[in-house]
Amino acid sequence: MLVRQGRRQACGLLLGSVLCLAVWPLVQAQGIYSCVDAKGRRITSDRPIRECVDREQKVLNADGSQKQVVGPSMTAEERAAHEEAERRRMQAEAARRDAVRQDRNLMSRYRDQAAHQRARDSALEPMVAAIKSGERRLAELGKERKQLEDEVEFYKGKELPRRLKFQFEQNAAAITAQQAAIDQHQAESQRIHAMFDEELARLKKLWAGAMPGSLGRAPAAAGAALSPASASAAR
């Protein structure tokens, strides 16, 4: 009677009465592990408890009596190192899964190089338009500058009128600002080209049979990674 009662208590500690018959032979052979973890929780299991590797674990017989005490298998430092290694392993696995997903999305988005080139052209279109517009404006400012210089000829040896001085200053500032905008758009175009080049190099390997996720971390999608300057030019 006492044996049955101990048996029921042991089963209750483990998995409940439904699974008791299935695990009972294992409990009899190995015993029940019990400990209090670092957070003060009491844990029981039919095998050594991972949360208590840095502290003692009691092994109980089927009737609830103590069978033995198992000492810590890791020091606190060892456990910290183990948990850090496990954290890094999980991060690496998550990065690998993310790379697999991104590679598959990339191959689904671009079936061939022609499709990728169309996406490149579309991403560059706002920059090309902005640069052309800036160059037209720069040419207009150049003509204005020439007209101002021609007008200055009438004032050789004389002080320039305040109006003319002001127009010169405004024209010079506008030329400087316009050239800076053109330079910014050209730099953005180069950045977009570089992103698409990197993406295309990866795609060529995938198209050639490389397994998704086997090429390391995937770059950001070039077509979607437009900077604020690109978005502003597009508007």
Strand partners, 36: 42
Q: Extract the tokens encoding 4.
A: 């049955």
Asked if residue 168 lies in contact with residue 151, where contact means CB atoms within 8 angstroms, the answer is no
The pLDDT of 86-103, averaged and rounded, is 92
Q: How far apart are CA 65 and CA 67, in angstroms?
A: 6
Helices and strands (H and E) in the chain: how many: 6, 4
Residue that wins the pLDDT comparison between 222 and 151: 151
pTM for the whole structure: 0.59
Average pLDDT, the chain: 83
Q: How far apart are CA 6 and CA 121, in angstroms?
A: 76
Q: How far apart are CA 184 and CA 190, in angstroms?
A: 10
Say which range, 15-24, 99-108, 113-122, has the weakest mean pLDDT. Answer: 15-24
Output the pLDDT for position 53: 81
The pLDDT of 166-171, averaged and rounded, is 94
Closest CA to 199 of 123, 135, 127, 137: 123
Strand partners, 70: 57
pLDDT at 11 over 70: no
Q: For the segment 127-158, what is each residue's pLDDT rounded down to a tens digit? A: 999 999 999 999 999 999 999 999 888 888 78
